[in-house]
Structure 1
Amino acid sequence: MIRTLVVDDDYRIAHVHAAGVGRVGGFTAVGKAHSAAETRSLVLTLQPDLLLLDLYLPDGHGLELMQSLRDRAPCPDFIVITAAQDIGSVRRAMQLGEVYYLVKPFGFAQLRDQLAAYRQLRNSIDGMAVASQETVDALYGILRGPVVRTADRRRLPATMAQVLDELRGASGELSATDVADRLGVSRATVQRYLADLVRRGLVDLSPSRGYTRRPEHRYRATGSPRPGP
């Protein structure tokens, strides 16, 4: 379970977001904080994996709080949830390494999608030893968040749709080389489409294992059964 601390000065909003976290598979809300001081204390005692962090706190700015928490170990990840729309706040949050920046007001569906993208990122990184360009492209695609939540094949470019069809029809996970060989197109083209499909939330990336020279990551259509050990 991804242990999540909700930070918001508004008690009602903090309760709503904590309830939303609890509705997303793989997450649990371990607490709620309503000030910078309370957040520091709870991070120390609860050691959450993720903070849903408002920027407007009564005793300090959320960006300053992020900076101070970055100096501690272990440091949680951050998804900023704020009404602040000035580009300076967005840029500073990016510099501090936030996972995503959600502008209030937003609905549960948007929160759910970003939490799901974060969960997919963690699952993909787990077990990885190296990061090829293919890996980096796929991981950054996940961080950009899902663009398409339903697999409407007609909205995809023709070759991308064929890549997705190959994964859906496979009995297990496939590599970019596997898909390229089946379709008769270049591996580089398939890699590009796979990274986009991961970003859209239609394909899951699995860490490569058992390689001798170059890692060959595996892919499966979202919702397909995972292979056994």
Structure 2
Amino acid sequence: MIRTLIVDDDFHVAHAHARSVAKVPGFVVVGEAHSAAEAYESIRAVAPDLLLLDMYLPDRTGLDLVRQLAAEPAETGVPDFILITAARDIESVRAAIQLGAIYYLVKPFAFPALREQLEAYQHWRLRLSETREADQDTVDTLYSMLRSPAADARQRRRLPATMARVLDTVARAATSVSAADVAETLGVSRPTAQRYLAILVQRGLVELDLAYGATGRPEHRYSAQLR
């Protein structure tokens, strides 16, 4: 079971989050805290695996709490944390990423959004526990697993029309495809297909493989990274 501590200054909100977490198989709520000081004591007392952490607490911010935990001896450790907050400024998002937030969930949100992210985190933990040595493919997989399917779907819906068609072409292919294959299917130029494929690779929606032929020169081949 993934031991989860809820940290939110609003008692009613904390209770609501606790009820939501309890509905997700594999998770158990080990406590609620309503200030950074109370959260700190709870973390040291119950050693949770995961924090659902509010940004704005009465005595300091949730990220200040994470910084305090990170500055202490390594053996105490910092629990994984999902930031749950109304803060929408990009500096808060950037700071959360820099401090290792598993996800950043903006209030208000519906239960399915939380459930999907908890399930993605659960699968990530399982894969991590089964891995003893990481090559680049393993690292890429671990990073991609923290994106919920719903987040991937939202990202695909935001793609420009031609890029979305490129992604759909790769996803529908029975095997990996080249930029030339995509260009021929869509009736676009090869450089256009190559440009969109490169962006899709950067976004983690398409995987790039290098296939070496008889000439020894690698051919770029693409396959979908959709879950």
**TM-score of the pair, normalised by structure 2:** 0.68
Deviation of residue 80 (structure 1)?
0.1
Q: Does 1:80 align with 2:83?
A: yes
Distance 2:17 2:129 in 1: 26
1:35 and 1:25 map into 2 onto residues whose CA distance is: 27
Is the 8 Å Cα contact of residues 21 and 29 (structure 2) preserved in structure 1?
Answer: yes
**Within 1, Cα distance between the matches of 2:38 and 2:12?**
17
Distance 1:74 1:159, change over 3 A: same
Shift of 1:7: 0.3
Q: Partners of 2:220 and 2:148 in 1: how far apart?
A: 22
Match of 1:19 in 2: 19
Shift of 1:74: 2.9
Q: What is the CA deviation profile of residues 190-210 of structure 1, one whole-angstrom value per residue up to 9, with x for unaligned ones? A: 7x52xx22xxxx3xxxxxxxx
CA RMSD, Structure 1 to Structure 2 (Å):
2.7
Q: Where do 4+ consecutive residues of structure 1 move more than 6 Å?
A: none
- Out of 145, 156, 171, the residue aligned to residue 160 of structure 1 is 171
User: 2 CA distance for matches of 1:121 and 1:94?
Assistant: 17
Deviations 1:68-120 (A, max 9, x none): 12234232001000000111111111110110000100110000011011111
Matched ranges for 1:2-13 at <5 A: 2-13=2-13
1:104 — aligned with what?
Answer: 107
Name structure 2 gaps, 5 residues minimum. Answer: 155-166, 176-206, 212-217
For 1:125-145, what per-residue CA distance to the aligned partner results, in whole angstroms no more than 9, with x for missing partners?
Answer: 112122222112211211233
Query: Does the CA-based 8 Å contact 1:47-1:74 persist in structure 2?
Result: no
State whether residues 6 and 32 of structure 2, in contact with CA within 8 Å, keep that contact through their aligned partners in structure 1.
Answer: yes
Q: Quick check: 2:66–2:78 contact (8 Å CA) kept in 1? A: no
Q: Which ranges of structure 1 fall in alignment gaps of 5 or more residues? A: 150-155, 165-175, 181-185, 203-229
| Cα distance change on mapping 1:95 and 1:108 into 2, 3 Å | same
Q: Report the residue type matching 2:25 in the other structure.
A: G
Letter paired with 2:96 = A
- Structure number with bigger Rg: 2
- Aligned-residue identity in percent: 51
Equivalent of 1:116 in 113, 116, 119: 119
Q: Give the 3-state SS of the residue equivalent to 2:130 in structure 1.
A: coil
- Does the CA contact (< 8 Å) of 1:7 and 1:54 recur in 2? yes
Count of equivalent residues: 172
Q: CA deviation at 1:45?
A: 0.6
The answer as to whether partners of 1:63 and 1:93 remain within 8 angstroms in 2 is: yes
Query: What amino acid maps onto 1:82 in structure 2?
Result: T
Partners of 1:121 and 1:129 in 2: CA distance:
14
| Aligned match of 1:205 | none
Paired residue type of 1:85:
R
The aligned counterpart of 1:135 is 138
TM-score by length of 1: 0.68
Kindly indicate whether structure 1 or structure 2 has the higher relative contact order, using CA contacts under 8 Å at least 6 residues apart. 1
* Partners of 1:187 and 1:79 in 2: CA distance: 40
